[in-house]
Amino acid sequence: MRRPCRAESVESIRTLGVVAVVRLDAVAQLGPVVDALAAGDVRAIEVTMTMPAALEGLTTLAATRDERSLVGAGSVLDAETARLAILAGARFIVAPVFRADVVEMCHRYDVVAMPGAYTPTEILTAWEAGADLIKVFPASALGPGYLKDLKGPMPQLRLVPTGGVTVENAGAFVAAGASALGVGGALVAREAIARGDFARLTEYARRLTAAVRAARERA
């Protein structure tokens, strides 16, 4: 299967609208979780490097998903980890903070760089350093109005609010100018996974993607 270029991956993330932040207790849970999310039309998967055997899981996932899915790595704090994740098959790299060498490493391999930033200065610094998308984190402390305020003077920014994004506020973040949404605990619910209730993940994924589509149609 042909690997998409960086620009194509950015467009895929924007089109899909939701990036699932997957942080699990065991890599064996990864396949069933990703299948459940895909059944709800959430197909951009961020495998966090804080998960045990994360690179192993990422390698398997990247090799077995179809072309409709996009697999990346999250919680990447340094260029060395970014390189390992890219070699394992990641098509996008997400970090909670901005590190210029991580962006540089991603671009060396034609992979999407999505660093995290919080303040307007941090966000613009990351953008000017070449970030393809910017993870606004933690979004729960800021709210949709913050994105709208940022996009006023800086409409060129491609922002992905993450942290505290739910079905209830997803539409407001999209309406405020989010390119996509990063969703973790509300979507990848640990208690549901622990009891094997993967249908709960699928149902939430469907509601979430429906909320994104509805907000975009109203825009």
Q: Domain with 72 in it: what CATH number?
A: 3.20.20.70
What region, left, alpha or beta, does residue 89 occupy, with left being phi > 0 and alpha being psi -120 to 50 degrees?
A: left
For residue 9, what are its two tokens? 């991956």
Residue at 21: amino acid letter: V
Boundaries of domain holding 50: 6-218
Cα–Cα distance, 78 to 92 (Å, whole number): 14
The domain total for the chain is: 1
Q: How many other C-beta atoms are found inside a 10 Å radius of the C-beta of residue 119? A: 9
Answer yes or no: is 1 within a domain.
no
Nearest to 75 by CA among 38, 28, 114, 101: 114
Per-10-residue mean pLDDT of the chain, 219 residues long, equals 88 98 95 97 98 96 91 98 98 98 98 98 98 95 96 98 97 98 96 96 98 95
For residue 21, what are its two tokens? 């932040």
Q: List alpha helices for 40-166, DSSP H.
A: 54-64, 79-87, 100-108, 120-128, 144-151
Answer yes or no: is 139 within a domain.
yes
pLDDT at 1: 59
* Residues written for the chain: 219
DSSP 8-state code for residue 205: H
Are residues 188 and 141 in contact, defined by beta-carbon separation less than 8 angstroms?
no
Answer yes or no: is 201 within a domain.
yes
Answer yes or no: is 151 within a domain.
yes
Cβ within 8 Å of residue 78, ≥6 positions away? 99, 101, 102
Answer yes or no: is 100 within a domain.
yes
Answer yes or no: is 206 within a domain.
yes
Cite the active site residues.
46, 135
Cα–Cα distance, 117 to 135 (Å, whole number): 6
Answer yes or no: is 126 within a domain.
yes
Enumerate helices (H) and strands (E) in the chain, giving the number of each. Answer: 10, 9
pTM check: above 0.85: yes
pLDDT at 68: 87
